[in-house]
């Protein structure tokens, strides 16, 4: 699973149903991946991705093998292709959390086992699946709902557009000019949305939050962007999700954030710690959604 556009609507709905079942009846799957090993390749530090994938393997009877890029011969110049071919002889799947999206694409091209995108600069599909599971738990459906994403048009925004397009959930990305999503990704999402009736849109107008069922944001300064911090804060400050922004959404709207968050920057403390926030249910669902992906691919 490199991008959610690789999967059909039926496949994504199957994963979400499986995630719900795994969460409700974990004991049924305690041996589902017995004898299977997942190589977890990390170029970036991680909390939720590392722990949730580790626990997903342990709780389904498999073995998680943590590999930092510096631990491998990749750090001394071995090619991605050779690494993929070697790992394919040792383990049953690879999860990679990398900077360049091309790294995961190349791993998938040369591996003979499933490769899972744990995060790249272009996409974060595992996060979007957990987000969709959380929304479905709260509202009973995805189709016809509206998610308003406020902030940087980044990898999280890209994957939210994809999951919305595939499940019939409308997604509007509200970003300042010059920080909006990749037009190529927007085009792919809009094409996918034609099959489900979802509306995928991009704007710089915060008024687009009005009536949304879900309000979502992410950090304004991602890993590798520290030198841009001051400039980004200046541009994004008007896009903080605060009480006034939430007041524009549906009264029953929930707030989501992929974490880690920076209270007082992209979101106010009163929102992220308030009654509409579902961020810890969302974080927990990384475990269940990833169990579902692993069981789907490996059992």
What does the domain layout of the chain look like in residue ranges?
Answer: 4-123+286-298, 126-282
Contact present, 246 and 286 (Cβ < 8 Å):
no
Q: Which CATH architecture does the domain made up of 4-123+286-298 adopt? A: 3-Layer(aba) Sandwich (3.40)
Closest to 167 in 3D by CA, of 2, 5, 3: 5
Give the tokens for residue 265. 């920057």
Contact present, 170 and 54 (Cβ < 8 Å):
no
> Residue 185 and residue 179: Cα distance in Å, rounded?
14
Give the tokens for residue 36. 């299977």
Contact present, 296 and 95 (Cβ < 8 Å):
no
Topology annotation, domain 126-282: Rossmann fold (3.40.50)
| Catalytic residue ranges | 97, 124, 127, 218, 258, 286
The separation between the first and the last C-alpha atoms of the chain, rounded to the nearest angstrom, is 15
Give the tokens for residue 143. 């189709």
**Sequential pLDDT tens for the chain (299 residues):** 999 999 999 999 999 999 999 999 999 999 999 999 999 999 988 999 999 999 999 999 999 999 998 888 875 789 999 999 999 999 999 999 999 999 999 999 999 999 999 999 999 999 999 999 999 999 999 999 999 999 999 999 999 999 999 999 999 999 999 999 999 999 999 999 999 999 999 999 999 999 999 999 999 987 666 678 889 999 999 999 999 999 999 999 999 999 999 999 999 999 999 999 999 999 999 999 999 999 999 99
Element (H, E) at 234: helix 229-236
Q: Between the CA of residue 68 and those of 55, 75, 97, what are the distances in Å?
A: 18, 9, 10
pTM exceeds 0.85: yes
């Amino acid at each position: 699973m490199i991008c959610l556009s690789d999967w059909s609507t039926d496949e994504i709905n199957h994963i979400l149903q499986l995630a719900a079942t795994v969460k409700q009846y974990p004991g049924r799957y305690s041996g589902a991946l017995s004898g299977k090993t997942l190589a977890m390749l990390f170029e970036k530090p991680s909390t939720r991705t590392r722990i949730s994938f580790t626990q997903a393997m342990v709780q389904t009877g498999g073995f998680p093998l943590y590999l930092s890029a510096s631990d491998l011969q990749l750090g001394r110049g071995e090619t991605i292709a050779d690494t993929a071919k070697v790992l394919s002889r040792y383990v049953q799947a690879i999860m990679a959390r990398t900077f360049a999206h091309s790294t995961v694409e190349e791993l998938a091209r040369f591996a003979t086992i499933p490769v899972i995108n744990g995060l790249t600069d272009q996409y974060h599909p595992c996060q979007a699946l957990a987000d969709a599971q959380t929304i479905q738990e709260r509202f009973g459906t995805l189709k016809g709902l509206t998610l308003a994403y406020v902030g940087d048009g980044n990898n999280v925004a890209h994957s939210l557009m994809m999951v919305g397009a595939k499940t019939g959930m409308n997604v509007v990305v509200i970003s300042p000019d010059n920080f909006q999503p990749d037009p190529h990704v927007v085009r792919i999402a809009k094409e996918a949305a034609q099959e489900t009736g979802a509306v995928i849109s991009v704007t710089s107008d915060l008024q687009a939050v009005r009536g949304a069922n879900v309000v979502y944001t992410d950090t304004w300064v991602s890993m590798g962007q520290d030198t841009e911090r001051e400039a980004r804060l200046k541009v994004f400050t008007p896009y903080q999700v605060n009480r006034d922004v939430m007041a524009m959404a549906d009264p029953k709207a929930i707030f989501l954030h992929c974490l880690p968050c920076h209270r007082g920057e992209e979101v106010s403390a009163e929102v992220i710690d308030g009654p509409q926030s579902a961020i810890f249910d969302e974080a927990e669902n990384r475990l269940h959604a990833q169990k579902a992906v692993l069981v789907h691919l490996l059992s």
